[in-house]
Amino acid sequence: MKTKENNYFISLITLIAALGGFLFGFDMAVVSGIIEPLKLQYALSSAQEGLFVSCALLGCIVGVGFSGYLSDKIGRRKVLFISAILFLISAVGFSFSEVYSMLIFYRVLAGIAIGVASNVSPLYISEIAPSNRRGQLVVFYQLAITVGILVAYISNLFLQRYASANAGEGQGLVHWLFVENVWRGMFIVGVIPAMAFCLLLLIVPESPRWLVQYGRNEEALDILTKVSGAETARLELNSIKEMSGQKSGGIGELLRLPLRKLLTLAVVLTALSQFSGINGVIYYGPTILKQAGIVTSDALFYQVILGGANVLFTFIAISKVDTWGRRPLYIYGSICAAFALALTGYCFVVGITGYFMLFSIILFLLFFAFSLGPLKFVISTEIFPTHIRGTALSMCIMTMWISDWIVGMLFPLMRDGLGIAATFFIFAFFCILSFLYAKKNLFETKGKSLEEIEKEWNTDSNSGKELAVKMEVSEEIE
């Protein structure tokens, strides 16, 4: 039976692991306040500006590429520590570098840290969480991302106003960082959570499932006891041991049945969630709010409004993912997101502005935040066996970053070539595809241990049945 101590332990460990998500969100969002002053100070050409904005994505792809395999080999905790160190080095290095090429280097380094954290943090949380709270705790990682984004927006806004109020006054390092070169100050703020991440990881245990995979059963039992209580820990350990024993087979194993079906499901859902245009919507959000006529010309203030809405709506997923289930939330959220995007496109077609346009874009953030946004992490961390989960998740996260790059590259072209209304209708179309694909292929996993999920799809595969049959595809909202 669980005690308050068990709940405290799992909550603390989840909070620490979720710092990887916080730093992911902070590092990606803080650049929004850096681009313009950096461009002016270094007289960047369009190509140099584009390189600065996109180089972090290159690092993300590199980070994802090695972190999954490495976490399967040396453990989740050690790889999380690598990401924390990279976050810290990149924050300090970027803030004090004066050569453009070194700024690019440290942005790539930050991108590698983001790639590692985006892969291993949700993976670790899913493997240490009890089955009845796993969805909630993995969604907490998504919440940490949105909080990191919001904190970056608020920090940028505060530092920008501080620099304006103290322009021409004072001297010394603080004045140089936070007034003369305020964009450096915006980035160095990330040292605080990065340092906290490094130190707190010292008290985080290794994933019990990874430990069992490498025969360290007593260590795993000790951790499971802290998570689930002594009465159920040994039963969980026996279940994990029953499904363990294989070492990572790499990408080749993932491309063979039955794992190929699971990989296809996770990759398609991940890509479609990003093709909903969430990044394009966030980037275009300031213009929409300006057209709504309810805010001033302060672009950083616009971002705080949207960031706050994104954080607030993610709590819906946290409260419902383990009661309603993954499948209903994903299906209903994706079709409702399609409606909200189509409504925004309609506003542009007929020229509706003001609060109704604001309502339509906030409505999309609401539906995305409790379905397409967080559930791709939940699903991808649940459906693969332990011995290859890190590698499989890395392929899903790689898909996310590539999809983000495609949307980021095509959004301005679609906006200027097809028109903003048509662009929103295209995003709505991809949400409809998400609805149709999830309705046909997504199975329910709420309340089941990772080993139960693996055992069920293994049984279905061996008997020649379709994967979704035995896994309650038609589970309804209670």
Flag whether pLDDT at 194 surpasses 80: yes
* In a shared domain, residues 317 and 433: yes
pLDDT of residue 77: 92
pLDDT of residue 68: 81
Q: Report if residue 456 sits inside a domain.
A: yes
444's tokens: 């329910």
Higher pLDDT, 311 or 83: 83
Flag whether pLDDT at 462 surpasses 50: no
* In a shared domain, residues 28 and 142: yes
Arithmetic mean of pLDDT over the chain: 82
Please state, for a pLDDT cut of 90, what percent of the chain lies above it.
Answer: 22
* In a shared domain, residues 188 and 268: no
Q: Report if residue 163 sits inside a domain.
A: yes
* In a shared domain, residues 147 and 53: yes
Domain containing 162 equals 1-204
Q: Report if residue 408 sits inside a domain.
A: yes
Domain end point (choices 177, 204, 231): 204
Flag whether pLDDT at 280 surpasses 60: yes
Name the pLDDT band for 289 (thresholds 50, 70, 90).
Answer: low
Q: Report if residue 231 sits inside a domain.
A: no
* In a shared domain, residues 277 and 183: no
57's tokens: 């994505």
Q: Report if residue 78 sits inside a domain.
A: yes
Q: What is the mean pLDDT of residues 338-350?
A: 90
Q: Give the residue from 117, 180, 188, 181 showing the smallest Cα distance to 155.
A: 188
Domain end point (choices 204, 225, 247): 204
* In a shared domain, residues 160 and 40: yes
pLDDT of residue 294: 59
pLDDT of residue 430: 95
What is the three-state SS of the chain?
Answer: CCCHHHHHHHHHHHHHHHHHHHHHHHHHHHHHHCHHHHHHHCCCCHHHHHHHHHHHHHHHHHHHHHHHHHHHHHCHHHHHHHHHHHHHHHHHHHHHCCCHHHHHHHHHHHHHHHHHHHHHHHHHHHHHCCCCCHHHHHHHHHHHHHHHHHHHHHHHHHHHHHHHHCCCCCCCHHHHHHHHCHHHHHHHCCHHHHHHHHHHHHHCCCCHHHHHHCCCHHHHHHHHHHHHCHHHHHHHHHHHHHHCCCCCCHHHHHCCCCHHHHHHHHHHHHHHHHCCCHHHHHHHHHHHHHHHCCCCCCHHHHHHHHHHHHHHHHHHHHHHCCCCCHHHHHHHHHHHHHHHHHHHHHHHHHCCCCHHHHHHHHHHHHHHHCCHHHHHHHHHHHCCCHHHHHHHHHHHHHHHHHHHHHHHHHHHHHHHHCCHHHHHHHHHHHHHHHHHHHHHHCCCCCCCCHHHHHHHHHHHHHHCCCCCCCCCCCCCCC
pLDDT of residue 296: 54
Residues 374-416 pLDDT 10s: 888 888 888 888 777 778 888 888 888 888 878 777 777 787 7
Residues 134-160 pLDDT 10s: 888 888 888 898 899 889 888 988 898
* In a shared domain, residues 297 and 373: yes
Poorest-confidence range of 235-249, 266-280, 284-298, 348-362? 284-298
Residues 85-116 pLDDT 10s: 999 999 999 999 989 889 999 999 999 999 99
* In a shared domain, residues 361 and 263: yes
Q: Name the most confidently modeled range: 17-26, 42-51, 291-300, 404-413.
A: 17-26
Q: Report if residue 373 sits inside a domain.
A: yes
Higher pLDDT, 4 or 1: 4
Poorest-confidence range of 66-80, 238-252, 259-273, 305-319? 238-252
* In a shared domain, residues 155 and 259: no
pLDDT of residue 381: 80
Name the pLDDT band for 467 (thresholds 50, 70, 90).
Answer: very low
pLDDT of residue 468: 42
pLDDT of residue 475: 42
* In a shared domain, residues 265 and 183: no
Cα(23)–Cα(144) distance, integer angstroms: 8
* In a shared domain, residues 164 and 308: no
Q: Report if residue 381 sits inside a domain.
A: yes
pLDDT of residue 286: 61
Please state, for a pLDDT cut of 70, what percent of the chain lies above it.
Answer: 87
Q: What is the mean pLDDT of residues 355-377?
A: 85
CATH number at residue 160: 1.20.1250.20
Poorest-confidence range of 153-157, 252-256, 296-300? 296-300
Q: Report if residue 430 sits inside a domain.
A: yes
* In a shared domain, residues 39 and 140: yes
pLDDT of residue 166: 82
Domain end point (choices 165, 188, 204): 204
Q: What is the mean pLDDT of residues 296-306?
A: 67
Flag whether pLDDT at 41 surpasses 90: no
Q: How many domains does the chain have?
A: 2
